[in-house]
Amino acid sequence: MSTEKVKCLIIGSGPAGYTAAIYTGRANLFPVLYEGIQPGGQLTITTEVENFPGYPEGIGGVQLMEDLRKQAERFGVEIRSGIATAADLSKRPYRITIDDEKVIEAETIIISTGATAKYLGLADEQKYAGMGVSACATCDGFFYRKKTVAVVGGGDTACEEAIYLAGLAKQVYLIVRKPFLRASKIMQERVMNHPNIQVLFEHNATGLYGENGVEGVHLVKRLGESNEERYDVAIDGFFLAIGHKPNSDIFKEYLDTDETGYILTEENTPCTKVPGVFAAGDVADPHYRQAITAAGSGCKAAIEAERYLSANNLL
């Protein structure tokens, strides 16, 4: 297995990874970035981005990430395809295995591997991706003003998304598998008392339909132990709010994570408990999960990496 030494390794190519690359490239750290499981990150499956500063008319998610990539390349960042498949953070230089076939020895690492939204596993979720199916109400809710949408989930996140969407849409259906909400009491009260939200307890979504996008959802309502009712509800948008899985598995032996797997960092910094290893973007952010917050954390990680290298005479 071949080995290569670098000063700064960036793992992941979403807004956090590319921003970290721009900053470390300008600082002459000669960073190497591996794109990871989804080159360009989650924004590449988003049609229009209207809340990223600097684009008054909005911009396509793919185009935004392509612009960030070009900006990083302008500053000499070497961007490569490949997935980090193993990690050894026990001592410096830290060792990351790429595609089970190459080892990168790095003095500093910026982990920006993101978090993957959980889906129900319906074929229609892929069929209508970017055409009415979303896993981010804050990102896409604006496109459903005065329309009818459904949110799947019964926890705090689902309730928050339903309330947010209820401020934009004319009708929100909250599809809940269980006969109760798992959300905190105050969130339950807000949902149950909101005039624009209808909670559908003991319902499962089994599919979606529509010609050129989502036009409705197939539902199954449980009626006791053996009976069920099947029917369709017309909707314009279908939002998943059943959680995210941070892409942090290979680092858990060395870094602290919360119960879900989000990497824990020192307060208001991207610093992990391993010196010289930083986490940026959604892999360390269970709360905001926005492109702009990810980009900001990528900037912080890059600055901290440069400071670490300088303090340890590694520049």
Active site amino acids: 136, 139-140
In angstroms, rounded to a whole number, what is the distance separating the alpha carbons of residues 117 and 136?
Answer: 9
E strand intervals along the chain: 2-11, 32-34, 48-49, 59-60, 78-80, 84-88, 94-98, 102-111, 115-117, 133-134, 148-152, 171-175, 197-200, 203-209, 216-223, 227-234, 237-240, 244-246, 277-279
Q: Residue 59 forms beta bridges with which residues?
A: 49
Helices 156-166 and 185-192, interaxial angle, to 10°? 30
- Contact by Cβ (8 Å): 72, 156: no
